[in-house]
């Protein structure tokens, strides 16, 4: 069995990452360094398994019937779920769970940024005007606030745990709800068709659902008009879930207070975007899910999955080709 690893161009880094795979339980398996797309095109027909950060129609057509499994080393896989992949027998898995803690921490930092008026503190640093009480009277205590979470998966659950450590009230929704769902860190887990009740209560609304045809553009003007005037929208999922033009309009009209955006409908974000000019919008360049040990953890996760695959056990992170996540 041949496994192609398209995880880095650097040979030394590849060797270090490949060494993290537990080969003691993987007899008869060889690994190929896929350093670039030229290498991918050359070797794809010989691979049984491919580990990469995404696949395109241009290269997927070079596969052979040998290819059984593509592991995407990221949580979001929407760009790799094109028709040829969906129609094929190739199993798709993702790296869900690796970055749930870092993303949840990032979201909490954004909540604190707005609650404690760090933007006003930055203005104080720049203009040097001592306005202690003007800033202080606008700050909020998190125990008096409600966090709404759209998408109660790995990230949503970790976020709710952190929010509860600040004594926040947490209300969440997810499309598929299990009867045995752990609700330890959530005050209410609400069906998607009752999302309005979350919008009306939330001081902070975190978008933590995957991008699918049903979630594309779902956070739009119809959502913003149902939210509190002081509400903040936080998006660390996928930019296209939020209609950016509607968001800008809602902030300008003061229908909501502001937003923290780590992802955008088009990346890199166009320097001419109005988002750069809004005082109550915090922007970051898609960094919430990345951290120094990401690749190491991704490879270790894949190693564990590969052992299960060889032993014909079910893989937890298998992507459903019908639900598209």
Query: 27 near 45, Cβ under 8 Å?
Result: no
* CATH number, domain containing residue 178: 3.40.50.720
Query: 27 near 310, Cβ under 8 Å?
Result: no
Query: 204 near 114, Cβ under 8 Å?
Result: yes
The count of structural domains within the chain is: 2
Residues 85 and 153 in one domain: no
Whole-number pLDDT of residue 173:
95
Catalytic one of 267, 296, 318, 323? 267
**pLDDT tens-digit profile of 54-76?**
999 999 999 999 999 999 999 99
Residues 77 and 205 in one domain: no
Whole-number pLDDT of residue 230:
97
Whole-number pLDDT of residue 167:
98
Q: Say if 231 falls within a structural domain.
A: yes
Structural domain span for residue 92: 2-98+291-310
**pLDDT tens-digit profile of 212-260?**
999 999 999 999 999 999 999 999 999 999 999 999 999 999 999 999 9
Q: Say if 320 falls within a structural domain.
A: no
Peptide linkage before 268 cis (omega within 30 of 0): yes
Is 89 an active-site residue?
no
- Separation of alpha carbons 312 and 118, rounded Å: 51
Residues 118 and 84 in one domain: no
User: Which pTM was predicted?
Assistant: 0.93
Is 16 an active-site residue?
no
Catalytic one of 161, 216, 286, 318? 286
Q: Say if 319 falls within a structural domain.
A: no
Residues 27 and 76 in one domain: yes
Query: 298 near 96, Cβ under 8 Å?
Result: no
- Separation of alpha carbons 178 and 320, rounded Å: 17
- Separation of alpha carbons 187 and 75, rounded Å: 26
Q: Tell me the Ramachandran region of residue 304: left when phi exceeds 0, alpha when psi lies from -120 to 50, beta otherwise.
A: alpha
Whole-number pLDDT of residue 181:
63
Residue given tokens 């190491």 in the structure block: 296
| Length, in residues, of the chain | 325
Whole-number pLDDT of residue 68:
98
Residues 170 and 266 in one domain: yes
- Separation of alpha carbons 185 and 255, rounded Å: 29
Residues 78 and 158 in one domain: no
Is 33 an active-site residue?
no
151's CB contacts (< 8 A; 6+ apart) are 172, 173, 174, 207, 208, 209, 210, 237
Q: Say if 46 falls within a structural domain.
A: yes
Q: Say if 43 falls within a structural domain.
A: yes
**For the chain, which residues score pLDDT lower than 50?**
none
Query: 239 near 209, Cβ under 8 Å?
Result: no
Residues 201 and 163 in one domain: yes
Catalytic one of 71, 117, 174, 238? 238
Q: Say if 315 falls within a structural domain.
A: no
């Amino acid at each position: 069995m041949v496994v192609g690893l398209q995880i880095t161009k650097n040979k030394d880094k590849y060797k270090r990452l490949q060494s993290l795979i537990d080969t003691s339980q993987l007899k008869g398996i060889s690994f190929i360094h896929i350093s670039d797309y030229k290498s991918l095109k050359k070797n794809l027909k010989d691979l049984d398994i491919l580990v990469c950060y995404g696949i395109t129609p241009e290269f997927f057509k070079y596969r052979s019937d040998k290819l059984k499994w593509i592991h995407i080393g990221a949580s979001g896989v929407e760009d790799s779920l094109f028709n040829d992949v969906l129609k094929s027998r190739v199993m798709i898995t993702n790296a869900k769970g690796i970055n749930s803690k870092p993303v949840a921490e990032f979201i909490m930092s954004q909540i604190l940024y707005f609650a404690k008026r760090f933007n006003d503190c930055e203005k104080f640093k720049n203009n040097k005007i001592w306005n202690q009480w003007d800033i202080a009277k606008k700050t909020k205590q998190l125990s008096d606030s409600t966090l709404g979470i759209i998408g109660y998966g790995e990230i949503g659950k970790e976020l709710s745990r952190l929010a509860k450590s600040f004594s926040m009230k947490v209300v969440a929704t997810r499309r598929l709800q299990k009867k045995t769902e752990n609700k330890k860190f959530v005050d209410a887990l609400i069906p998607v068709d009752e999302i309005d009740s979350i919008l009306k209560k939330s001081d902070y609304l975190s978008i933590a659902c995957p991008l699918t045809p049903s979630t594309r553009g779902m956070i739009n003007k119809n959502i913003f008009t149902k939210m509190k005037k002081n509400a903040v929208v936080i998006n660390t999922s996928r930019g296209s879930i939020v209609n950016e033009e509607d968001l800008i309009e809602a902030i300008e009209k003061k229908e909501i207070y502001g937003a923290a955006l780590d992802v955008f409908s088009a990346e890199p974000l166009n320097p001419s975007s109005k988002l750069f000019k809004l005082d109550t919008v915090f922007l970051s360049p898609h960094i919430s899910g990345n951290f120094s040990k990401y690749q190491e953890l991704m490879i270790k996760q894949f190693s564990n999955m590969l052992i299960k695959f060889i032993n014909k056990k079910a893989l937890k992170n298998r992507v459903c080709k019908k639900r598209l996540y």
